[in-house]
């Protein structure tokens, strides 16, 4: 295909140079990848073979600006593969991933290039470099050494092969989970089996049935907006069991979509890779570039929290089991937990999602997030209808500073569909950077899976979905407010156990009256959310927090079990998982289910040896939010300091940024108090 006809290769003639999704077709991706790789390699060779003495400008700065086309195509393509994939896109991913891994290896293992970087690292007068330049030099040098630049030729080739295989296995893992999620349907023909379900869930299930040409029935799926209401409200215990079993057994059935061998192979290859590079384990390799620093520190952190969480989790389980006994449930199981927890919560606090959802119309919550950002940072969001979209559900906004200057373009994609993976995430189609004096602003997106509007109701969010939206919006603000010279240090390009601070801190505003009054209005009457409801939200905020904390710790421990040692002897995935999670066990497992085989965060996403970071960042966010509570939720001075933390990206060590904002290091007590695990 001629590059003249490929919109990915040409300059984007669109508002703000946004991707021309209306012109991009599947057949454009591979040629664009290949051309981008060719161009990138040529740019790298030019730097590597330069006869000029190496310095920061002609080596580090030049390298940072290499590969613009391949980076641009990658950002677009892999975002589409997550949010709007199909068989053809997945085939392209399988073909493109090894090419990209090879391209990356060609750079990281280029001996001449590394010699120049090493020369600058050892000889440049770093006092003449600014903070960001020094940080880029350190990050680049470490990136090369941590990816094999100091190895001999044989070891480099071994590393190349492992990297290539890992890229394919990770993709395959994700495809299997998506295929398993998409293929399952719980078809209900008898209306009596819907007892307990709220109207919105029944309407959504009827709409799903209609989409699937099964009109006259109700279809429930493993997508969160369908799955969660069913296991939370459906009175039919056998059907709750069926759905929970289906969810928990994804990619664990010994069939074509089974991930057991993929999981073992991924863990083994990561371990071998770490060993080649001189590290004891994959976790040792990963944590060298994290705030936590070592596996021992992570294990101590998780175990210290477990001392508080496990007794509280056991008490939470005793409370809900006793409550279920009133219904004659003496053999309490995992598929009973959401159902009876919701009932107990309603009895204790007179609150449930059905009471709150009418006040959380999706459009109002989005507007509320925008108002919070405006009050904190002075930025405004204006919808644009002239920016090309990859799906009709997506909405785009122009984000501006008070002086009218552009902050970002923001994409919001909220509803589930067959081509979109489960969960919620933030991503970007273009990172912020400064090039040739121009501050190139970022293109940022959040992707969620909320309940779709029905013919009679708009999309109404549960309170948990409200906090999810604010969480992802916090990540988005980190990307949007970025203001650094280099894309590699911009926005969310920070240590992985720091990246959740900007997202998790935003959730805190959802519990405060001053914030909820901005947007929580009844979708039919326009009435503001009653003060009594806000009090109940706050009172119930620590309900089963012991269990929830224990659950998160169990995931962190499972992650460290896979990545903190030698996985070569693991034969039985299920047995290994059970042993790893035994210290946190509060309920019997559902037979035939397995967490690891669908644990996309660590086997497909970037959280391997890093799942602990959610709890680590909760310490940071609880401690940081205490300053806002002390000074005022929308205190300008505090917000300005936090904006500086956000806009700095990875230009400083995260603890430096945190101490500059807070005046000291974070204290774990703030999290334990907020969670109700110690007395305030």
SS3 of 533-551: HHHHHHHCCCCCHHHHHHH
The pLDDT of residue 477 is 98
Q: Among 611, 628, 657, give the residue marking a domain's end.
A: 611
User: Per residue in 187-204, is it b (16+ CB within 10 Å) or e — as a string?
Assistant: ebeeeebbebbbebbbbb
The residue written with tokens 């384990």 in the block is 281
Angle at 394 between CA 382 and CA 646, to 5 degrees: 60
pLDDT at residue 582 in the model = 97
Pinpoint the alpha helices (H) of 84-195. 87-108, 111-123, 131-145, 153-183
The whole-number pLDDT of residue 454 equals 85
Q: Is the domain of 140 the same as that of 50?
A: yes
Nearest residue to 609 (alpha-carbon basis) of 561, 573, 559, 565: 559
Q: Report the pLDDT value the prediction gives residue 605, as an integer from 0 to 100.
A: 83
Find the helix or strand (DSSP H, E) in which 501 lies.
helix 501-507
* Domain-located, residue 157: no
Domain shared by 521 and 625, yes or no: yes
**Run of H or E including 454:** none
Distance CA 605, CA 329 (A): 38
Same domain, 519 and 560: no
Q: What pLDDT shows up at residue 3?
A: 67
User: Three-class SS of residue 445?
Assistant: strand
Token pair of 350 as six digits: 């007179």
Q: Is the residue at 167 inside a domain?
A: no
The answer to whether residue 468 sits within a structural domain is yes
The catalytic position among 64, 180, 472, 577 is 472
Domain co-membership, 391 together with 496: yes
Indicate the DSSP class of residue 56. Answer: I
Range of the domain at 105: 3-150
460 DSSP β-pair partners? 361
Q: Find out whether 356 and 534 touch, Cβ atoms under 8 Å.
A: no
- Per DSSP, the three-state class of 238 is helix
Last residue of a domain, one of 557, 582, 611: 611
Beta bridge partners of 444: 410, 428
CA 408 to each of CA 397, 430, 633: distance values in angstroms, whole numbers, following the listed order: 8, 10, 24
CATH number at 296 reads 1.10.1370.10
Q: Indicate the DSSP class of residue 57.
A: I
Q: Which two tokens mark 379?
A: 């930025």
d(CA 603, CA 171): 9
Q: Please indicate, yes or no, whether residues 492 and 605 belong to a single structural domain of this protein.
A: no
Cross-strand bridge partners of residue 412: 395, 446
Return the closest-CA partner of residue 49 out of 135, 133, 116: 116
Q: In degrees rounded to 5, what are phi and psi of residue 73?
A: -65, -40
The yes-or-no answer on residue 472 being catalytic is: yes
Burial category of 29 from C-beta neighbours within 10 Å (exposed 0-12, middle 13-18, buried 19 and up)? buried
Label residue 11 exposed, middle or buried (CB < 10 Å: 0-12, 13-18, 19+): exposed
573 and 561 belong to one structural domain:
yes
562 with 495, same domain? no
- Same domain? For 490 and 581 the reply is no
Q: Cα(124)–Cα(122) distance, rounded to whole angstroms?
A: 6
Task: Give every CB contact of residue 292 below 8 A, 6+ residues apart in sequence.
Answer: 298, 301, 497, 612, 613, 616
The values of phi and psi at residue 139, to 5°, are -65, -40
d(CA 215, CA 131): 62
pLDDT for 386 equals 98
Distance between CA 176 and CA 553 in Å, rounded? 26
d(CA 19, CA 444): 12
Q: Which residues of 454-463 are buried (b: 16+ CB within 10 A; e: fewer)?
A: beebebbbbb
Q: Which two tokens stand for residue 132?
A: 């960001």
For 218, list phi and psi in degrees, rounded to 5: -125, 125
How far apart (Å, rounded) are the C-alpha atoms in residues 10 and 36?
12
Angle (deg, nearest 10), helices 573-581 and 545-563: 130
pLDDT of 4: 75
CA–CA separation, 447 vs 458, rounded Å?
18
Residue 60 lies in a domain: yes
- Whether residues 123 and 208 share a domain: the answer is no
CA distance 525 to 361: 12
Are residue 407 and residue 497 in the same domain, yes or no?
A: yes
Query: Which residues, 6 or more positions from 464, have their beta carbon under 8 angstroms from its beta carbon?
Result: 353
Report if residue 175 sits inside a domain.
no
| CA 610 – CA 564 distance, rounded (Å) | 11
In a domain, 155, yes or no: no
Decide: 104 and 159 in contact? Cβ < 8 Å. no
Please state, in angstroms and rounded to a whole number, the distance separating the CA atoms of residues 274 and 505: 33
Q: CA-CA distance, 675 to 542, in Å (whole number)?
A: 6
How far lies 442's CA from each of 18, 51, 115, 283, 639, in Å?
10, 35, 33, 32, 21
Give the angle 149-152-153 at the CA atoms, nearest 5°: 95
Question: In this structure, are 212 and 112 located in the same domain?
Answer: no
Cβ neighbour number for residue 664 with a 10 Å cutoff: 9
Residue 164 domain-assigned (yes or no): no
As given in the structure block, the two tokens for residue 256 are 């074509």
Tokens of 316: 């939470």
The CATH number covering residue 37 comes to 1.10.1370.40
- Which residue has 């280099």 as its token pair? 486
Residue after which a domain boundary falls, among 199, 224, 248: 248
Stretches in the chain below the pLDDT threshold 70: 1-3, 680
Query: Is residue 585 included in any domain, yes or no?
Result: yes
Quick check: helix, strand or coil at residue 433? strand
Say how many domains are in the chain: 4
Is there a single domain that holds both residue 374 and residue 282? no
Torsions phi, psi for 235 (to 5 deg): -70, -30
Given a contact cutoff of 8 angstroms between Cβ atoms, the answer to whether 459 and 451 are in contact is yes
- Looking at residue 354, its pLDDT comes to 87
């Amino acid at each position: 295909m001629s590059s003249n006809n490929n919109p990915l290769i040409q300059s984007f003639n669109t508002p703000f140079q946004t991707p021309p999704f209306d012109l991009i077709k599947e057949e454009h991706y591979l040629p664009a990848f290949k051309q981008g790789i060719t161009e990138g390699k040529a740019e790298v060779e030019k730097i590597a073979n330069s006869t000029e003495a190496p310095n920061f400008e002609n080596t580090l700065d030049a390298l940072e600006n290499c590969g613009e086309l391949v980076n641009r195509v990658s950002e677009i393509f892999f975002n589409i593969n997550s949010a709007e994939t199909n068989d053809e896109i997945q085939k392209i991913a399988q073909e493109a991933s090894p090419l990209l891994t090879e391209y990356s290896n060609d750079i990281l293992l280029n001996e001449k290039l590394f010699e120049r970087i090493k020369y600058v690292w050892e000889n440049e007068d770093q006092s003449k470099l600014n903070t960001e330049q020094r940080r880029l030099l350190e990050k680049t040098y470490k990136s090369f050494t941590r990816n094999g630049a100091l190895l001999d030729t044989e070891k480099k080739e071994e590393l190349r092969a492992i990297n290539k295989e890992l890229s394919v296995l990770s993709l395959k893992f994700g495809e299997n989970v998506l295929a398993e999620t998409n293929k399952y349907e719980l078809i209900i023909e008898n209306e009596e089996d819907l007892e307990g379900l709220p109207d919105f869930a029944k309407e959504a299930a009827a709409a799903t049935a209609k989409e699937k040409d099964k009109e006259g029935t109700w279809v429930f799926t493993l997508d969160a907006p369908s799955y969660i209401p069913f296991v939370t409200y459906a009175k039919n215990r056998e059907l709750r069991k069926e759905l929970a079993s289906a969810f928990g057994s994804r990619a664990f059935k010994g069939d074509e979509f089974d991930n057991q061998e993929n999981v073992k192979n991924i863990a083994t290859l990561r371990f071998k890779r770490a060993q080649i590079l001189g590290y004891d384990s994959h976790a040792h390799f990963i944590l060298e570039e994290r705030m936590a620093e070592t596996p021992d520190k992570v294990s101590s952190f998780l175990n210290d929290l477990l001392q508080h969480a496990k007794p509280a989790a056991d008490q939470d389980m005793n409370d809900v089991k006793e409550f279920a006994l009133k219904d004659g449930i003496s053999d309490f199981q995992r598929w009973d937990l959401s159902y009876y927890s919701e009932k107990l919560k309603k009895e204790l606090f007179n609150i449930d999602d059905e009471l709150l959802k009418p006040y959380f119309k999706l459009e109002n919550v989005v507007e509320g997030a925008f108002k919070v950002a405006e009050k904190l940072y002075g930025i405004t969001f204006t919808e644009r209808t002239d920016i090309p979209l990859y799906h009709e559900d997506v909405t785009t906004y122009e984000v501006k500073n008070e002086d009218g200057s552009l902050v970002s373009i923001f994409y919001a994609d909220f509803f589930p569909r067959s081509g979109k993976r489960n969960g919620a995430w933030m991503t970007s189609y273009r990172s912020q950077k400064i090039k040739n004096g121009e501050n190139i602003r970022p293109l940022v997106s959040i992707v969620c899976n909320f309940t779709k509007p029905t013919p009679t109701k708009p999309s109404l969010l549960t309170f948990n979905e409200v906090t999810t939206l604010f969480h992802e919006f916090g990540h988005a603000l980190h990307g949007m407010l970025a203001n650094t010279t280099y894309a590699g240090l911009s926005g969310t390009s920070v240590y992985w156990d720091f990246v959740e601070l900007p997202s998790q801190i935003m959730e805190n505003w959802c519990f405060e009256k001053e914030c909820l009054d901005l947007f929580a209005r009844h979708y039919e009457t326009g009435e503001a959310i009653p003060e009594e409801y806000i009090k109940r939200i706050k009172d119930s905020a620590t309900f089963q927090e012991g269990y929830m904390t224990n659950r998160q710790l169990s995931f962190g421990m499972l992650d460290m079990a896979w990545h903190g040692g030698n996985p070569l002897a693991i034969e039985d995935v299920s047995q290994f998982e059970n042993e790893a999670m035994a210290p946190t066990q509060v309920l019997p497992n559902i037979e035939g289910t397995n967490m690891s085989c669908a644990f996309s965060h660590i086997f497909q996403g970037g959280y391997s040896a890093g799942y602990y970071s959610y709890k680590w960042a909760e310490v940071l966010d609880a401690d940081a939010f205490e300053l806002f509570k002390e000074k005022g939720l929308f205190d300008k001075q505090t917000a300005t300091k936090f904006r500086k933390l956000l806009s700095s990206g990875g230009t400083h060590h995260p603890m430096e940024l945190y101490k500059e904002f807070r005046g000291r290091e974070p204290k774990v007590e703030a999290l334990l108090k907020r969670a109700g695990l110690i007395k305030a």
